[in-house]
C-alpha cells in the first residue's frame, strides 16, 4: 500500500468486474465510481432504467467503464434476473457489493405485511439471492472473489421506528459470517460494512435540517461521508485483504459509543 491510497489503488485491479447494487445514487454511486477509477469494470443497478443509463454514461470515461441493468429488488424474481443478466453479459463477476437497501419508518405495530416483505426482500433476500448466483459463478471460474454486504449501526443499537430494517440488516451480518465460512475454501471472502451516521442511507431525508445538534453527539465531530464508506468497501475488495473474511466493520466515527438518532 502507498501512503496516498490506503484503500489500495496501487494494487493490481486489472481484469476485475464488479456488480454494485443500488448504485445509481448515494453510497452505491460513489462505491461504483471508486471501483471504476481503479480499472474495475462496474455493473450499475437501480430501480429506474433512466438512472441506470445516466450513471453508466457518467462512468463511461473511467478506467474500468460500466454497463447496467435496472431491477426492483423488492421482487425476488427480479433479483434472480439481475444476477443472471449480469453474468450473461460479462461472463464473470469477481466483486459483488450488495449495497442496495431501503427503510420504511413507522411503529412496528403499524407495519403491514407488504411493507415487511418489501424491506426484508431488498435488505436481506436480494443480497442472499444475488450472492448465490455470483458465488456459484466464482466457484466455477476458479478465481475466487470478493463479496461485500451492508449492515447498519441500528442492528447494534436501534433506529427509532426502524425495527424491520434493523432486523433485516442484523440478519445480513449473520449471513455474512456463514457465507464466509462456506466460501473460504473456494477463495471467496465475504465481509460486511456497517455504516454509522451517513446521510446517504435508506430512509433518511435531511433536506433543510439543521444537523448541528446531531453532530455534537459524534465523537469525531461530523457526519460520515460516502467516501468514508467507499474506503471500507475498497479495503475488503483489495487484493491485499484476501485473508480478511467473515468480518463486520463498523464505520461510524465512534458513533456507537453513544448512539444519537438524527
Q: 258 catalytic, yes or no?
A: no
Check the CA dihedral 153-154-160-166 and report its sign: positive
Q: Tell me the C-alpha distance between 142 and 195, whole Å.
A: 32
Q: Tell me the C-alpha distance between 160 and 261, whole Å.
A: 7
- Identify the active-site residue in 13, 150, 165, 235: 165
Residues annotated as part of the active site:
165
Amino acid at each position: 500500500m502507498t501512503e496516498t491510497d490506503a484503500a489500495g489503488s496501487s494494487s493490481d485491479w486489472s481484469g476485475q468486474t464488479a456488480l454494485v447494487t443500488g448504485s445509481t445514487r448515494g453510497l452505491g454511486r460513489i462505491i461504483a465510481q471508486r471501483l471504476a477509477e481503479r480499472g474495475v469494470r462496474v455493473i450499475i443497478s437501480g430501480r429506474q432504467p433512466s438512472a441506470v443509463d445516466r450513471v453508466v454514461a457518467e462512468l463511461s470515461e473511467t478506467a474500468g467503464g460500466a454497463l447496467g441493468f435496472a431491477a426492483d429488488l423488492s421482487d425476488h424474481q427480479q433479483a434472480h434476473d439481475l444476477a443472471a443478466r449480469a453474468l450473461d453479459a460479462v461472463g464473470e463477476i469477481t466483486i459483488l457489493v450488495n449495497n442496495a437497501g431501503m427503510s420504511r419508518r413507522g411503529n412496528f405495530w403499524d407495519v403491514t405485511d407488504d411493507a415487511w416483505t418489501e424491506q426484508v426482500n431488498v435488505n436481506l433476500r436480494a443480497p442472499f439471492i444475488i450472492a448465490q448466483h455470483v458465488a456459484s459463478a466464482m466457484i466455477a471460474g476458479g478465481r475466487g472473489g470478493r463479496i461485500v454486504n451492508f449492515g447498519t449501526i441500528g442492528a447494534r443499537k436501534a433506529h427509532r421506528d426502524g425495527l424491520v430494517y434493523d432486523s433485516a440488516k442484523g440478519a445480513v451480518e449473520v449471513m455474512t459470517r456463514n457465507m464466509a465460512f462456506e466460501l473460504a475454501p473456494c477463495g471467496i471472502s465475504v465481509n460486511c460494512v456497517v455504516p454509522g451516521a451517513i446521510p446517504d442511507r435508506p430512509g433518511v431525508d435531511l433536506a433543510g435540517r439543521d444537523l448541528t445538534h446531531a453532530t455534537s453527539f459524534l465523537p469525531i465531530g461530523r457526519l460520515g461521508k460516502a467516501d468514508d464508506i467507499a474506503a471500507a468497501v475498497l479495503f475488503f475488495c483489495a487484493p491485499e485483504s484476501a485473508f480478511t473474511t467473515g468480518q463486520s466493520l463498523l464505520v461510524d466515527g465512534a458513533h456507537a459509543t453513544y448512539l444519537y438518532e438524527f
